[in-house]
Amino acid sequence: MKLDAAPITVFQEKSVPDGSQLAGWAALVQALAIPAPVRRPSCVSEQHIRGSHRKEGIWTIFDKRYWPGDAFADHLLFALRHEDIDLLILKRVFEAVPQGEIEAIIHAAPTGIPARRSYTIASTPTWRDRIEITVKREDHGLVSRWLHDELRLERVLHVHRDAA
């Protein structure tokens, strides 16, 4: 489920720091119109931040490398990783989204540990509709075993561009 990531300048009567976008709980509350206060809102800067994040008033401003993405799951996982747990907001988020969205997040990372791996693209650059990778199954490899043993046709994988 994609969230409306339109830049805003004011969130809950507080000015959003210049050159940043809401992230985590603040993004979810804004996009889902959840009636709950966000006591320590977060945003992600369009610039690099020394030390990866800084405090500015009530805001925690994260470096641009922390931008979670535009999906509901991206902001929920950002909030759970980088912000204090707010049970009121979490409860209202769960009430506001379809049950299938929450189930999809759980199925995507059933151990609760998101896995990040780098693979080499094996397909030709002229293919515009798909990307092919080759993955050797490693007996102790969390992701390679899952790809070989569990992945089925028509399954959607969330992939990100390389970190370089």
What is the per-residue pLDDT across 3-19, written as a single tens digit (0 to 9) for each?
876 778 899 889 899 99
Distance CA 133, CA 122 (A): 5
The torsion angles phi and psi of 62, rounded to 5 degrees, stand at -100, 155
| Count, residues in the chain | 164
pLDDT of 110 reads 59
Give yes or no for a contact between 62 and 72, defined as CB atoms under 8 angstroms apart: no
Give pLDDT tens digits for 77-126.
899 889 998 899 999 999 999 888 888 777 766 566 666 666 778 888 88
pLDDT of 32 reads 92
Of 113 and 27, which is predicted with more confidence? 27
- Whether the per-residue pLDDT at 163 is higher than 60: the answer is no
Which residues contact residue 44 at a Cβ distance below 8 angstroms, ignoring those fewer than 6 apart? 20, 21, 23, 61, 62, 63, 64, 66, 67, 68
Which residues contact residue 152 at a Cβ distance below 8 angstroms, ignoring those fewer than 6 apart? none
Query: Taking residues 37-43, what's their average pLDDT?
Result: 93
- Whether the per-residue pLDDT at 156 is higher than 70: the answer is no
What percent of the chain is modeled with pLDDT above 90? 35
C-alpha distances in Å from residue 16, one per residue of 21, 124, 156? 8, 43, 34
Exposed/middle/buried for 114, CB within 10 Å: 0-12, 13-18, 19+?
Answer: exposed
pTM (2 d.p.):
0.66
